[in-house]
Structure 1
Amino acid sequence: MAGQRLLAEWEPQDAVLLSWPHKGTDWDWILDDVTQLYEALATVICDYADLVIAAPAEELDNIRARLAAMDAPMEYIYLYPTPTNDTWARDFGPLTVETDEGMKLLDFQFNGWGNKFAHHLDNQITRNLFDQGAFAAATLEQQDWVLEGGSIETDGKGTLLTTASCLLNTNRNPQLTQEQIEVRLKAAFGVRKINWLHHGHLAGDDTDSHIDTLARLCPNNVIAYVACDDPADEHYAELKQMEAELVGMTDADGEPYKLIPLPWPQAIYNHEGQRLPATYANFLILNEAVLVPIYECMTDEDALEQISQAFPGYDVLGIPCATLIEQGGSLHCITMQLPEGVLEPL
């Protein structure tokens, strides 16, 4: 192998990383609801992969007791004392690349999506976990520039998909041009082609349009993407333009994509009347399973069916995530897969 390669999410996994909600996070006002969601999610994940949990030291005994009371398989769950600001593991967690010497964790800088939120503790989580032996079979390499896992998608075969509104935003790496960012992406992840989306957004999203809320690379040159079919909706024009961009895209080998549109959920608002970024694109891929966020909408079943088309042979399970979008994120945002060879040698 020449250089290093960022693995596709559907390649074999050792585990999934979670950062547990607690009173010190923005979840405090609905802590019971979100904790129950995390507990249910943990038990489902353990059917397909191990689980690594980061949480403040004073929270660990309670987390362990509550999971054990649910008959969670504790032999597959690893808890590590780690101070945290919040729970968005996708964006401060490690991005794993395959090298000739084994798996390497790239620890990018995390600045709270452009200094919108406190992030000083979350920016240290990957390093803290590594120092405690959480990723025993992998090495760690610190990166000196800002990048969040939710902002990129790869097929593991040379193609990367991202959004210009996030990666080129001056609140991330103002010192870098697009050309310089592309050079860094290609060097870090072993990709040959970068596909940039210039359209697409969700109201209520704090990430400057992370790709994992809009369009997802799937096996066999498939892209599952958010499609809005309501001309009266505020998202309609932007998402139609995004769809047109996707139609014209090819992978690193020049092959076109098969596009699978995901249904448009009904508008969901918080108690202050602000629209929340409900999206079915924020699904989590596990070993032989896909966990799909659902929102108690009429379109939930259609979403599960469409994602089943993108992942033939996988278990496709709906996870109620109406609580998660209260803070602007969903299922993929709170998780980070740890590929095979990270926890234990291949």
Structure 2
Amino acid sequence: MIKMPAEWEKQRTVLMSFPHEETDWHNTDNEADLEASLSPFIRIAQAIAYAQPVYIICKDKNNISSMFCSTRNMTFIEIPTNDTWIRDYGYISIKEDDQIKLLDFTFDGWGGKFEASLDNSVNNTLHKKGYMGITPLEKVDFILEGGSIESDGEGTILSTAACLCNTNRNGGLSKQEIEEKLHTHLGAKRVLWLDHGYLAGDDTDSHIDTLARFVNKETIAYVKCNDKDDEHFEALQKMEVQLKEFKTKEGKPYKLIALPMTDAIYDKDNKRLPATYANFLITNDALIYPTYNDKNDTNTGEIFKEVFSNKEIIPINCLKLIEQGGSLHCSTMQIAY
């Protein structure tokens, strides 16, 4: 029997991949830009390491480790990378007959948009170095990113058709063909497909972790847009309608938790950035969520306090992350226990 554990289940560690001068984070016009980009990664790693291990993939472990006041629960590992979004190229954990197994799916830079050959080799290299111990690793000849799927831990996968059925991934398979793959490799018993919803500035073709997330097997948190003048209003309204139609495996409507949208945030070229509160990370003892210097930062924290009443709620400013198209959840990948 195969299943993909939910994010709230016990975690062994969390993987992160730090920026360096050979990634897109390095701005040749501003040498201080790389140093500034490291700040949110350091804060996220500290928040995780407070209560559980974090493996930090980097170019120069001595340099990166020296930036921390404490390196408790941190392991620094030198592996070449193209980019930092390890949610999408890191291991996907499954349980097969109650034993953890790591799956290494193919990563193609979100449909060939970016160079990804180094990122695509990280899992194998990390495993060969022995950091995963005797946990088995299986290479899967199928393009799948961790940010494109949500699991309730009981056989339900939540995803978007815009991403998984895109012609730039696996040649554009049908929903049925994708479901067969998810059943084979993740033990999916059913897939809930969102056909609407996107974020401007997002390179992932609508990853589910930017739009809607399981917070327990009966509850989904999702991005809600109330501004009729916002370009996202119609698509996110349609997404909300579809979420209301979804049923749990017991046949009951899901409890839905609406997360606010930030005011529109733009980069220096006036391109809208994909700010989303849905890109939070659940760890063993904490809920770590992104903030954006927005009026809704505090309100969102109060929502999370109610939803995750048994966890510490930790906000991390992620304005710098969205400049490169991702946010907090995108920069992490949990390994199940």
Alignment TM class, shorter chain as reference: over 0.9
Return 5+ residue gaps in structure 2 as ranges: 28-32
Q: Aligned partners of 1:281 and 1:258: how far apart in 2?
A: 16
The answer to whether the aligner puts 1:87 opposite 2:90 as a matched pair is no
Q: Which residue of 2 aligns with 1:71?
A: 70
User: Helix, strand or coil: the match of 1:260?
Assistant: strand
Which of 206, 209, 215 aligns to 1:209? It is 206
Q: Give deviations 1:44-90, integer Å, cap 9, x for gaps.
A: 1111210111123xx111112222xx1231xx211222110000010
**CA deviation after TM superposition for structure 1 residue 178, in Å:** 2.3
Q: Which residue of 2 aligns with 1:43?
A: 46
User: Helix, strand or coil: the match of 1:255?
Assistant: coil
The answer to whether the aligner puts 1:33 opposite 2:36 as a matched pair is yes
Q: Aligned partners of 1:290 and 1:117: how far apart in 2?
A: 30
Instruction: Determine what percentage of the aligned residue pairs are the same residue.
Output: 45
Q: Aligned partners of 1:130 and 1:239: how far apart in 2?
A: 40
Q: Which residue of 2 aligns with 1:61?
A: 62
Q: Aligned partners of 2:274 and 2:21: how far apart in 1?
A: 24
Residues 158-307 of structure 1: matches in 2 within 5 Å? Answer: 158-174=155-171, 176-307=173-304
The amino acid across from 1:66 in the alignment is M
**CA deviation after TM superposition for structure 1 residue 177, in Å:** 2.9
- Asked whether the 8 Å contact 2:147–2:330 carries over to 1, the reply is yes
**CA deviation after TM superposition for structure 1 residue 100, in Å:** 2.2
Which of 13, 17, 22 aligns to 1:24? It is 22
- Asked whether the 8 Å contact 1:20–1:38 carries over to 2, the reply is yes
Paired residue total: 332
The amino acid across from 2:56 in the alignment is I
- Asked whether the 8 Å contact 2:166–2:172 carries over to 1, the reply is no
**CA deviation after TM superposition for structure 1 residue 277, in Å:** 0.4
The amino acid across from 2:18 in the alignment is W
The amino acid across from 2:263 in the alignment is Q
The amino acid across from 1:10 in the alignment is W
Q: Aligned partners of 2:281 and 2:87: how far apart in 1?
A: 10
- Asked whether the 8 Å contact 1:158–1:252 carries over to 2, the reply is no
RMSD: 1.1
Q: Aligned partners of 2:129 and 2:194: how far apart in 1?
A: 38
Q: Aligned partners of 1:306 and 1:136: how far apart in 2?
A: 38
Return 5+ residue gaps in structure 1 as ranges: 341-346
Q: Give deviations 1:138-189, integer Å, cap 9, x for gaps.
A: 1100000100000000100111100000000000011633212111101211
User: Helix, strand or coil: the match of 1:28?
Assistant: coil
**CA deviation after TM superposition for structure 1 residue 220, in Å:** 4.5
TM superposition outliers: structure 1 runs of 4+ over 6 Å: none
User: Helix, strand or coil: the match of 2:248?
Assistant: coil
User: Helix, strand or coil: the match of 2:40?
Assistant: helix
TM-score after normalising by structure 2: 0.96
The amino acid across from 1:162 in the alignment is S
- Asked whether the 8 Å contact 1:193–1:251 carries over to 2, the reply is no
Q: Which residue of 2 aligns with 1:8?
A: 6
Q: Residues 248, 107 of structure 1: CA spacing in aligned structure 2 closer, same or farther, 3 A cutoff? A: same
